[in-house]
Chains A and B, each alone.
Chain A
Amino acid sequence: MTSCSACSAQGTCVSAHRSTNEMYDRTRAMGLATIFDRYEAQQPQCGFGMQGVCCQLCSHGPCRITKKTDVAICGATADTIVARNLVRLAVHGTAAYTHHLEELARTIKATVAGKTPFKIGDEAKLREIASLVGLDAKKPAGELATALADIILAELRKGSDEPLALVNLLAPKTRLEAWQELGVVPGGVLSEIRDALTKSMTSIDTDPVDLLLTVVRLALAAGYMGLVGTITIQDILLGTPSLAQSEADLGIIDPETVNIVAHGHVPLVATAVIQASQDPEMLSLAKKAGAKGIRVYGSMCTGQELMQRSATSAKGFAGQLSNWLAQEYYVATGAVDLVMMDMNCSIPGLKTVADRFHTRLVSVDRIVRMAGVEDHVDYAPEKVAEQARELIKMAITAYKNRGQDIHIPPYKNPAVAGFGVETILGALGGSLDPLLDAVKKGSIKGIAAVVGCTNNRNGHDTRGLTIMRELIKNNVLVIAAGCMSSAAEIEGLMRPEAADQAGEGLRGICQALGIPPVLNFGSCVDIGRIGVAVTAIAGALGVDPAQLPVVASAPEYLEQKAVVDGVFAVAFGITTHLGPVPPVTGSELVTKILTQDIEGLTGAKFLVEEDPEKAAQAMLAVIDSKRQALGI
């Protein structure tokens, strides 16, 4: 495989990580089929689906746009089918983010009522946001928090004709004008979801352009509520991330402790479990079972949330294991006793591997269900303290059944977490100016957000890591979020020492500040944090985000949340690279709009490039042209 430049494996080469390759060999030797095998078994994949020109909405279908016919039975063209399919993907992404936000709003209210083990973690942010949305910021924190939560819930539920408050309040003016012109300022998120779903039924909205505008509306709704809203409320509840030292990769698993993995995106149950795991009663139960202690590890974005708060609300967090593609492999170590699956990204394949070992899978969100998983401890804010203890007891019971067949790959790397506007300001001494100066002087050429999922189309994390390495080599500061954060943590790019791998200018800045060249912005909702940072930079410079030497990349995008993230970024004015080709190439019109025409409307476009080196070059070119336009 020529494109495997980031590979650290000798022999097996399914992943950029040695640990994953080693575990894959282990599962194969056990006769266990895992994600990489299932991927192979699915090849070749149908080109109509890959191009987005397969419609299965009505019972006349499936219809495909082919060499033999350019319209579906109803007359829909490739443009309509592609755009309509895209709307449905965007609906999914938006809905999932909304779920996360609702859980937080409910939790805030229960916390204020004293029914949860949490306490308001960032009162300053609470007061800041409260005053922004028009509340009297002098009121007691509890009262404000409840009122804010109510506003969020009301915003989610209001009509699609009532523009979202957060968009009006937070978006840069220049952006807001552009969106108003396009008519894409969204209303209440649930109403937007209803409208979009209705439109994308057969024969309702068949105008590809209007369908694409609907995608943008959804993306803005998801962006300002699901991303920015979620991180803000989450910060208020669990504390704004602060710099913390942690570790990543499978080598952090301690074979002598009761091991619990928090897997998913919503860190509420997990935070409660970390806190409860330090309870002397729980510890003595674990010791009685023969364990040295109880450790809570992270996987996917829940892990990132915990890591970036491991100096505060998630103190005691044991580190990050892996990201989406590698979930089966930490179970296959044989040393994981319980996996708490919260909202999003627990794959059914996990069950097959868990069954081979003693590992107990528990869903901890009422909407997470998996065939064969009978343990549900569905998150309820009022009960979560007790639920946390119950989960730990379940883990201890499982620990007692742990077998002898354990293999923990001996690899791990330290990682710094907790970056965001606040910590960057802290590191810079309270002002963004040093950073902006570095950008102006050219020691930092620009900023690239390398975010989103991991994907096997080009080898697990291979593409993302190659792009990150290329960019830092070229003095582009990388900020990572989501599964890409795990990738960088595991390969040591989030250690300050990784500055060695950066170009001269960036290296100097990193060394001066003691920061890594790839900043850990956390989970995939923390893409909202990147949005906040870009807004702050644009504000400080007095320009529109589209003018900044800032690009984004979702080099291994996988699922529907990433679809709205990407569209949000482009609507926000940030040119966004996609690694895997999205299912739109069957429509020339849609492809052209997304990769060309949209630039005239939002100042940014999608860059689709499968080759990571070429992608990095294309992103550098965008940064250069923006610098030129700014005259720096």
Chain B
Amino acid sequence: MKEIMVYTERCNGCLTCVLACAAAHAEDKTIVGAMAAGVPGRLFIQAVNGRPVPVLCRHCEEPACVAACMTGAMQKDPETGIVTNEGHEQTCVGCWMCIMACPYGAVVPAPGKEKMAIKCDRCPDRDVPACVAACPNLALAFIEPEDFARERQKSVATALAVEAGVPA
């Protein structure tokens, strides 16, 4: 199952992904529309000592948010692996149990009056999530975790080889 993978070192904190995410979840699907309506992004670029670090939902195997959800709205789709509290028969009441449960802080209260938790829904209607498609630095990838791990290993190996003076 494909997942959103992060190359933290490539991120330069431009927040394009956050804006693209907001646009994807806005009524008119535009960045300007999303900003005007105050639609938030559902991933977070946090600053650690001035360096940007993307933080987003991992769509966990056994999600703590799903276990915590007291309405049954938060579910993990067995087919796609997507964890979301939207589009189900059960609906969210905004009790914030999931927010207390998520170790990544990936679930947040919706802004404004509506009592509802919001989180990454991995853009179910798109082939590639909006954030991944938008990132100008290729810091986000929508790939199989194994491929990601393989690539990482390769790049580490290359780096080591370069360091050791061996042509990769």
Whether both chains belong to one complex is answered with yes
Name A's B-contacting residues (CB within 8 A): 40, 43-48, 50-51, 64, 66-69, 457
Assess A67 versus B10: contact at CB under 8 Å? Given A44-B46, A44-B51, A44-B52: yes
Residue contact A46 to B13, C-beta cutoff 8 Å: yes
| Interface footprint category on B | 10 to 19
**How many angstroms between the C-alpha atoms of A583 and B30 in the bound complex?**
29
Shortest Cβ gap from B40 to chain A (Å): 16
Q: Given A43, A46, A67, which contacts B50 in the complex, CB threshold below 8 Å?
A: A43
Residue contact B136 to A64, C-beta cutoff 8 Å: yes
The 5 closest A-B pairs by CB, nearest first: A47-B12, A43-B47, A44-B13, A66-B136, A44-B52
Q: Using CB atoms, name the residue of chain B closest to A586.
A: B12
17 inter-chain pairs at a CB distance below 8 angstroms, sorted by A residue, are A40-B47, A43-B50, A44-B15, A44-B51, A45-B50, A46-B14, A47-B137, A50-B12, A64-B14, A66-B137, A67-B10, A67-B136, A67-B138, A68-B136, A68-B138, A69-B136, A457-B50
| Residues on the B chain within 8 Å of A46, using CB | 12-15
| Residues on the B chain within 8 Å of A48, using CB | 12, 14, 136
Count chain A CB atoms within 10 A of each CB in B13, B45, B46, B51 and give the residue with the most. B13
Q: Using CB atoms, name the residue of chain A closest to B13.
A: A44
**How many angstroms between the C-alpha atoms of A180 and B33 in the bound complex?**
53
Residue contact B138 to A47, C-beta cutoff 8 Å: no
Residue contact A45 to B138, C-beta cutoff 8 Å: no
Shortest Cβ gap from B32 to chain A (Å): 13
Count chain A CB atoms within 10 A of each CB in B11, B12, B45, B47 and give the residue with the most. B12
| Residues on the A chain within 8 Å of B45, using CB | 44
| Residues on the B chain within 8 Å of A47, using CB | 11-14, 52, 137
What 1/0 mask marks residues of chain B from 52 to 68 whose CB sits below 8 Å from any chain A CB?
A: 11000000000000000
**How many angstroms between the C-alpha atoms of A51 and B13 in the bound complex?**
12
Shortest Cβ gap from A585 to chain B (Å): 11
Residue contact A44 to B47, C-beta cutoff 8 Å: yes
| Residues on the B chain within 8 Å of A69, using CB | 136
Shortest Cβ gap from B43 to chain A (Å): 13
| Residues on the B chain within 8 Å of A66, using CB | 136-137
| Residues on the A chain within 8 Å of B47, using CB | 40, 43-44
Shortest Cβ gap from A168 to chain B (Å): 45
Q: Using CB atoms, name the residue of chain B closest to A42.
A: B47
**How many angstroms between the C-alpha atoms of A67 and B139 in the bound complex?**
10
| Residues on the A chain within 8 Å of B46, using CB | 44
**How many angstroms between the C-alpha atoms of A457 and B47 in the bound complex?**
13
**How many angstroms between the C-alpha atoms of A46 and B12 in the bound complex?**
6
A44-B13, A44-B52 known, 7 other contacts, Cβ within 8 Å: A44-B51, A44-B53, A46-B14, A46-B15, A47-B11, A47-B12, A67-B138
| Residues on the A chain within 8 Å of B137, using CB | 47, 66-67
**How many angstroms between the C-alpha atoms of A40 and B51 in the bound complex?**
12
Shortest Cβ gap from A610 to chain B (Å): 10
Residue contact B10 to A44, C-beta cutoff 8 Å: no
Residue contact A44 to B50, C-beta cutoff 8 Å: yes
Shortest Cβ gap from B42 to chain A (Å): 17
User: Which residues of chain B (40-99) have a CB below 8 Å from chain A?
Assistant: 45-47, 50-53
Q: Using CB atoms, name the residue of chain B closest to A40.
A: B47
Residue contact A45 to B13, C-beta cutoff 8 Å: yes
**How many angstroms between the C-alpha atoms of A47 and B46 in the bound complex?**
13
**How many angstroms between the C-alpha atoms of A64 and B13 in the bound complex?**
13
What 1/0 mask marks residues of chain B from 1 to 37 whose CB sits below 8 Å from any chain A CB?
A: 0000000001111110000000000000000000000
| Residues on the A chain within 8 Å of B12, using CB | 46-48, 50-51
| Residues on the B chain within 8 Å of A457, using CB | 50
**How many angstroms between the C-alpha atoms of A457 and B51 in the bound complex?**
12
Shortest Cβ gap from A358 to chain B (Å): 36
| Residues on the B chain within 8 Å of A43, using CB | 47, 50
Shortest Cβ gap from A47 to chain B (Å): 2
| Residues on the A chain within 8 Å of B15, using CB | 44, 46
**How many angstroms between the C-alpha atoms of A43 and B50 in the bound complex?**
6
**How many angstroms between the C-alpha atoms of A48 and B139 in the bound complex?**
14
Shortest Cβ gap from A69 to chain B (Å): 8
| Residues on the A chain within 8 Å of B13, using CB | 44-47
**How many angstroms between the C-alpha atoms of A68 and B10 in the bound complex?**
13
| Residues on the A chain within 8 Å of B11, using CB | 47
**How many angstroms between the C-alpha atoms of A50 and B51 in the bound complex?**
12
Shortest Cβ gap from A63 to chain B (Å): 11
Shortest Cβ gap from B90 to chain A (Å): 36
**How many angstroms between the C-alpha atoms of A619 and B160 in the bound complex?**
33
Shortest Cβ gap from B160 to chain A (Å): 23
**How many angstroms between the C-alpha atoms of A69 and B135 in the bound complex?**
12
**How many angstroms between the C-alpha atoms of A44 and B11 in the bound complex?**
10
Q: Using CB atoms, name the residue of chain A closest to B53.
A: A44
| Residues on the B chain within 8 Å of A51, using CB | 12
| Residues on the B chain within 8 Å of A64, using CB | 14, 136
Q: Using CB atoms, name the residue of chain A closest to B46.
A: A44
Shortest Cβ gap from B149 to chain A (Å): 21
**How many angstroms between the C-alpha atoms of A45 and B47 in the bound complex?**
8
**How many angstroms between the C-alpha atoms of A47 and B10 in the bound complex?**
10
| Residues on the B chain within 8 Å of A67, using CB | 10, 136-138
What 1/0 mask marks residues of chain B from 114 to 152 whose CB sits below 8 Å from any chain A CB?
A: 000000000000000000000011100000000000000
**How many angstroms between the C-alpha atoms of A46 and B19 in the bound complex?**
13
Q: Using CB atoms, name the residue of chain A closest to B51.
A: A44
**How many angstroms between the C-alpha atoms of A44 and B13 in the bound complex?**
6
Q: Using CB atoms, name the residue of chain A closest to B10.
A: A67
